[in-house]
């Protein structure tokens, strides 16, 4: 064994190492403080995450697709998702620092576990080995179970942690069973070979699926159960509203944003090897498309009658999982030219695109569209949760009725919230619109027209409840505002975070070329 090889490989996983060191530093820092002032620990963590983020930004251009340690891919895709994860973790750390419920002694361990969760998330998106994939997923999951219960005095927080744990362990078990079957079918832990095995076996011949295809299908469905649980997609979404509502809001933000984006990255890695020379796995695409359509519809319909802002955002994030999975379905579907049964032609897609010619990039793959939407989702959802934290800090309420008239008491923060909601709906000139537009292209060109229609209809439905939230903030008379502002609410700090994210949402909604160029250079 050569020391040079070791050092070379280590230099490719510096972000993970830095973040692990940050986690340990946070633990030691908390120890030195004797658990007194968790804010010091929080700032140490924030600085560590910031360093990691800087390192990743520096490294994005260097990614060469090499394989280090036999199972970690150092490519642009991994770096892009690590960038999102790290940026998300940084914002979550800041939100935790400014969260009123965390302003007491003895919660310093929180930051350490948060950093370890982020390390797990980073390995999830960068590995091509089934074993490390599972281990990384469990790193994220186990840390998240603990994080969800961090407000011990709040019974709802403990309930959230327990629910998350019980459902999560069940989903992990099902997924692991699927993994073991897939290992049997592929004879390898390498994700590319597994994807090749799925492509070969899940091929509908004249006599339908072969027995091996049925077995392989069962394995993939079991894996989908685990993945669907992590991204809170239908029908594995039952835990999410309760957990999102009960968990401390910064943790909810972490689960809804960082955890979900990491899982989407993992799904793309897992299924990314399936499309090959126009071939794909049609049955798998159909299953994922159905899951996507149901997630969107159930998420949006469920959100319509929510009273709690966190629950509303939970249902909205179920719907967004649906949008993301729709892109995954487009990724694994065989291309329309290969599958003659589908009637999609390039001309149709082109005709739809001419109206917005400047947005038509042509040839964006499902995976790239999902990556772009993940970036958009990061910005707008972090922002929305940030403002919810702001409102609950200052006015002590999370219910939509309680928000009545608050828009005029805190115009800047609430103004940005309206912007984030517009972006979540997908209205220009926000990044959410560009993201949805990119998602629709591969879905349409792969011949899944019905899915595109469902997606657009769902965006219209979502407008109702997002608008209800905005209406409560601004269109209800300010004199009816029930809540009175509290002191020491970190109003300024949180407003700065929200405004920064809002600038990002608008900036990437107008000048999205940089981001889309980056996304188009990803090989998924």
Partner 1 sequence: MESFSFWFFGGCTLIGSLLVALCPKLVHSAFSLVLALIGVAGLYWGLGADFLGGVQLLVYVGGITILFIYGIMLTPKGATKWSLGSLLFPGVIAVVPLCVMLHLAWKGLESVIKPVDAGVPQPTVDAIGRGFLNREEYLIPFELASLVLLAALVGSVYLARRKKES
Binding residues for partner 1 (CB under 8 A): 1, 5-6, 9, 13, 20, 23, 27, 69-72, 106, 109, 112-113, 116-117, 119-120, 123, 129, 131-132, 135-136, 138-139, 142-143, 145-147, 149-150, 152-153, 161, 184-185, 187, 201, 210-212, 214-215, 218
Least CB distance from residue 9 to partner 1, whole Å?
A: 6
Which residue, 211 or 343, has its beta carbon nearer to partner 1? 211
Which residue, 129 or 393, has its beta carbon nearer to partner 1? 129
**Which pair of tokens denotes residue 145?**
């179970």
Least CB distance from residue 406 to partner 1, whole Å?
A: 30
Least CB distance from residue 117 to partner 1, whole Å?
A: 7
Q: How far apart are CA 57 and CA 73, in angstroms?
A: 17
- Give the largest CA-CA distance in the chain: 74
Contacts of 500 (CB under 8 A, 6+ apart): none
Angle between helices 431-445 and 346-354 (to 10 degrees): 160
Contacts of 26 (CB under 8 A, 6+ apart): 41, 44, 45, 48, 108, 111, 112, 115
**Which pair of tokens denotes residue 315?**
């249902």
Which residue, 26 or 470, has its beta carbon nearer to partner 1? 26
Which residue, 139 or 425, has its beta carbon nearer to partner 1? 139
Which residue, 166 or 218, has its beta carbon nearer to partner 1? 218
Helix (H, G, I), strand (E, B) or coil at 394: helix
Angle at 477 between CA 495 and CA 400, to 5 degrees: 60
Least CB distance from residue 79 to partner 1, whole Å?
A: 17
**Which pair of tokens denotes residue 433?**
């619109």
Which residue, 117 or 382, has its beta carbon nearer to partner 1? 117
Least CB distance from residue 1 to partner 1, whole Å?
A: 6
Concatenate the DSSP letters of all residues of 238-293 into one string.
THHHHHHHHS-HHHHHIIIIIIHHHHHHHHHHHHTTS-BTTB--HHHHHHHHHHHH
Least CB distance from residue 160 to partner 1, whole Å?
A: 12
Alpha helices in 98-238 (DSSP H): 109-126, 130-148, 155-186, 191-201, 211-231
Helix (H, G, I), strand (E, B) or coil at 337: coil
Least CB distance from residue 184 to partner 1, whole Å?
A: 6
Which residue, 70 or 411, has its beta carbon nearer to partner 1? 70
How many other C-beta atoms are found inside a 10 Å radius of the C-beta of residue 162?
A: 15
Helix (H, G, I), strand (E, B) or coil at 129: strand
Among candidate residues 11, 10, 22, the one with its CA nearest the CA of residue 52: 22
Helix (H, G, I), strand (E, B) or coil at 185: helix
Least CB distance from residue 67 to partner 1, whole Å?
A: 10
Distances (CA, A) of 49 to 20, 118, 445: 10, 10, 39
Which residue, 147 or 391, has its beta carbon nearer to partner 1? 147
Least CB distance from residue 152 to partner 1, whole Å?
A: 6
Which residue, 217 or 504, has its beta carbon nearer to partner 1? 217
């Amino acid at each position: 064994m050569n020391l040079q090889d070791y050092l070379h490989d280590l230099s490719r996983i510096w972000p993970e190492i830095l973040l692990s060191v940050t986690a340990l530093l946070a633990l030691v820092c908390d120890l030195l403080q004797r658990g007194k002032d968790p804010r010091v620990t929080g700032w140490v963590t924030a600085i560590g995450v910031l360093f990691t983020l800087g390192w990743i930004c520096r490294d994005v251009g260097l990614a060469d697709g090499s394989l280090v340690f036999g199972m970690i891919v150092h490519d642009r895709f991994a770096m892009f998702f690590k960038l999102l994860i790290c940026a998300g973790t940084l914002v979550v750390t800041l939100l935790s620092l400014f969260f009123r419920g965390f302003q007491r002694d003895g919660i310093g361990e929180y930051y350490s576990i948060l950093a370890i969760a982020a390390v797990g998330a980073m390995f999830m998106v960068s590995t091509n080995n089934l074993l490390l994939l599972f281990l990384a997923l469990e790193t994220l999951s186990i840390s998240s179970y603990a994080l969800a219960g961090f407000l011990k005095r709040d019974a709802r927080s403990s309930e959230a942690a327990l629910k998350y744990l019980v459902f999560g362990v069940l989903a992990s078990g099902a997924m692991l069973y699927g993994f073991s079957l897939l290992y049997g079918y592929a004879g390898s832990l390498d994700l590319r070979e597994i994807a090749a095995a799925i492509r070969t076996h899940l091929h509908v011949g004249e006599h339908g699926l072969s027995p091996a295809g049925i077995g392989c299908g069962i394995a993939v469905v079991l894996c989908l159960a685990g993945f669907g649980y992590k991204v809170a997609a239908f029908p594995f979404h039952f835990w999410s509203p309760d957990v999102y509502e009960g968990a401390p809001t910064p943790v909810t933000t972490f689960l809804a944003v960082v955890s979900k984006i990491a899982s989407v990255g993992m799904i793309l890695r897992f299924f990314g090897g399936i499309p090959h020379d126009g071939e794909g796995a049609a049955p798998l695409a159909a299953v994922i498309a159905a899951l996507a359509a149901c997630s969107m519809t159930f998420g949006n319909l469920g959100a319509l009658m929510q009273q709690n802002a966190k629950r509303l955002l939970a249902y909205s994030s179920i719907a967004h999982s649906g949008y993301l999975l729709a892109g995954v379905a487009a990724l694994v579907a065989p291309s329309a030219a290969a599958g003659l049964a589908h009637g999609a032609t390039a001309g149709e897609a082109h005709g739809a695109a001419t109206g917005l010619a400047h947005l038509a990039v042509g040839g964006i793959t499902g995976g790239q569209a999902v990556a772009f939407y993940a970036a958009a989702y990061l910005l707008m959802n972090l922002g929305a949760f940030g403002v919810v934290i702001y409102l609950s800090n200052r006015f002590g309420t999370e219910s939509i009725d309680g928000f009545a008239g608050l828009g005029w008491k805190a115009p800047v923060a609430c103004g940005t919230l309206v912007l984030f909601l517009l972006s979540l709906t997908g209205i220009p000139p926000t990044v959410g619109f560009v993201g949805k537009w990119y998602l629709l292209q591969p879905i349409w060109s792969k011949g899944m027209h019905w899915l595109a229609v469902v997606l657009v209809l769902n965006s219209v439905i979502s407008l109702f409840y997002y608008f209800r939230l905005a209406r409560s903030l601004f269109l209800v008379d300010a004199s009816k505002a029930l809540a009175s502002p509290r002191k020491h609410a970190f109003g300024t700090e949180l407003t700065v975070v929200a405004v920064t994210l809002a600038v990002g949402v608008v900036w990437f909604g107008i000048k999205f070329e940089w981001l889309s160029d980056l996304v188009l250079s990803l090989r998924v």
